[in-house]
Structure 1
Amino acid sequence: MIGFGFWIDAHGHLADPRWDGQQDALIEEARGRGLHFFMQGGVGPEDWARQQELKKRHPAHIGLCFGLHPYWVAAHDDEECEEALNLLASALPQALAIGEMGLDFRPHIMKDSRERQLDVFAEQIELAHFSQKPMVLHLVQAHEESLKILDLYGVPKQKGMVHSFNGSGAKAQDFLNRGLYLSIGGPVCRPDNKKLHQAVKEMPLEYLLIESDSPDQPPPAYKDGLNPPESIWEVARTIGELKSLDPLEILDITTGNFHRLIGK
């Protein structure tokens, strides 16, 4: 047991412009509740620069993560994506992980980007191998396609995490079979999310992470505004109920798991 209140938000976006002018206060408020490290999720080159500025102000509390998010890929053409991949390769030594990377095949996101998303995902897996960085995966409505590409290119030795997992126990097992961690966020707090509740009950504790995905995906208690990092307390409470464990123990276990995946 860690038990000293030095817990971790495994995934969020404190560099998101929606938080501009509020980040310092947010971090201090979260630290007052025992959260001391905030792993970021990369979106695109503009976001990586904002992460770096935030880390300058909070060097001990921000974990850099650079990648090309499927949203970003869907909004840019092939040439722009290739240029960004070259930038990513040079920037990765500064980061703890590569991501968000993956696939999002919801029609309003995908539009005409299906093949481009597949190609950029594959190239980022290869970068993960080369850089020896763990992956942070964003996979939505593309389960079978994601498994095929992960198996084709191979899960890197450093493994990775499926951010904001919100699927069934069977889908969770597909990722666990490949050595990937599962990060759970605000959606687990919805009383009607029975599929995810059952999946969490079945997940091995040693592959579990918790996240806020701040400022998005708030638990019901935070639905009226942007989602702050401290909302992972609600996530820990819900998972604790599902696992018959104290929320503090969930925070301890997931912090230990994060250290094992990402490092201390």
Structure 2
Amino acid sequence: MVAFGRWIDAHGHLADVRWDGQQDTIIEEARTKGIHFFMQGGVGPEDWDRQKELHKKYPQHIGLCFGLHPYWIVDHDEDQCEQALDMLARRLPEAMGLGEMGLDFRPHIMKDSQDRQITMFEQQLELAHISSKPMVLHLVQAHEQSLTIMDLFGIPQQKGMVHSFNASWGKAQDFLKRGLFLSVGGPVCRPENQKLHQAVKEIPLEFLLIESDSPDQAPPAYKGRLNPPESIWEVAKTIGELKSLDPLEILDITTGNFHRLFGSTNEILVPAKGV
């Protein structure tokens, strides 16, 4: 069992500008609830810089993750994307993970970026093959396209995780067959989300992670506010109910899974006062 106070939020965005001035408070609140490590999701070069500043302040608690998010790609042209990709290759050794990377084909998100998204996804897959960094995948309304591309380029030896998995058991199996972990967040707490509930019941525990995606995707208990990392307790409770396990056991198991994927963080984690 993992010692109380060493649980992990597998994906969030504490460097998001919406949290500016509040990070001290939300990190301490999470630590008092036993959550001590916060893996970030990369967006683009500006976000990587903000992550590094946060990491300097909390080196024992922040996991760096650099990548070109589909959202960033949508807002930048081909030349800007290529320049950022070159920068990513140089800066990736500083990070624990490569991402967010992937495809988001929702029409209101995609606009005219489909070809750029595909090109950047392919190039980041190539970068994953030559690096030692697990992937953090953002895949939305692009299931078949993403599988085709990953099968063409091959899944890197370091594997990776599908962040904010929110789909059927059939789609979960497609990722599991390729050795990918599935990270589940706030959407599983919605009572009407039966498709995801059925998938979570079937997903093997050894391939499951939990995340906040802070400050987004708040569970119902946090509706109307920025979503803090501590909300993974709500995720763990719901998954525990679905799998007939104590939420503490879910937190222990998913923390162990994170270590298997990204490497141990035990040597840099220290308990908070009173935890």
TM-score tier after normalising by the smaller chain length: over 0.9
Provide the TM-score with structure 1 as the length reference: 0.99
Partner of 1:156: 156
1:219 deviates by 0.1
Look up the equivalent residue of 1:53 and give its one-letter code: E
Q: Is the 8 A contact 1:64 1:96 kept in 2?
A: yes
Partner of 1:114: 114
Q: Within 5 Å, which residues of 2 pair with 1:122-201?
A: 122-201=122-201
1:131 deviates by 1.1
Partner of 1:82: 82
1:105 and 2:105 aligned: yes
C-alpha separation in 1, matches of 2:243 and 2:109: 34
Equivalences, count: 264
1:2 deviates by 1.5
Partner of 1:38: 38
Partner of 2:268: none
Partner of 1:255: 255
Q: What are the Cα deviations for residues 49-92 of structure 1, in whole angstroms up to 9, with x where unaligned?
A: 00000000000000000000000001110000000000000000
1:230 deviates by 0.1
Partner of 1:7: 7
Partner of 2:54: 54
1:4 deviates by 2.2
- SS of 1:183's equivalent in the other structure is strand
Q: Is the 8 A contact 1:3 1:248 kept in 2?
A: no
Q: Which of the pair has the greater relative contact order for Cα pairs under 8 Å at 6+ separation?
A: 2
Partner of 1:66: 66
1:107 deviates by 0.4
C-alpha separation in 2, matches of 1:24 and 1:47: 18
1:132 deviates by 1.7
C-alpha separation in 2, matches of 1:195 and 1:12: 23
Partner of 2:272: none
- SS of 2:179's equivalent in the other structure is coil
C-alpha separation in 1, matches of 2:3 and 2:234: 18
C-alpha separation in 1, matches of 2:77 and 2:140: 21
Unaligned runs of 5+ in 2: 265-275
**Identity %, equivalent residues:** 77
Provide the TM-score with structure 2 as the length reference: 0.95
- SS of 2:138's equivalent in the other structure is strand
1:180 deviates by 0.1
| Stretch moving more, 126-135 or 190-199 | 126-135
1:3 deviates by 4.0
1:5 deviates by 2.6
C-alpha separation in 2, matches of 1:122 and 1:132: 17
1:203 deviates by 0.3
Look up the equivalent residue of 2:117 and give its one-letter code: Q
Unaligned runs of 5+ in 1: none
Q: What are the Cα deviations for residues 36-55 of structure 1, in whole angstroms up to 9, with x where unaligned?
A: 00000000000000000000
C-alpha separation in 2, matches of 1:87 and 1:244: 46
1:204 and 2:197 aligned: no
Look up the equivalent residue of 2:67 and give its one-letter code: G
- SS of 2:241's equivalent in the other structure is helix
1:135 deviates by 0.2
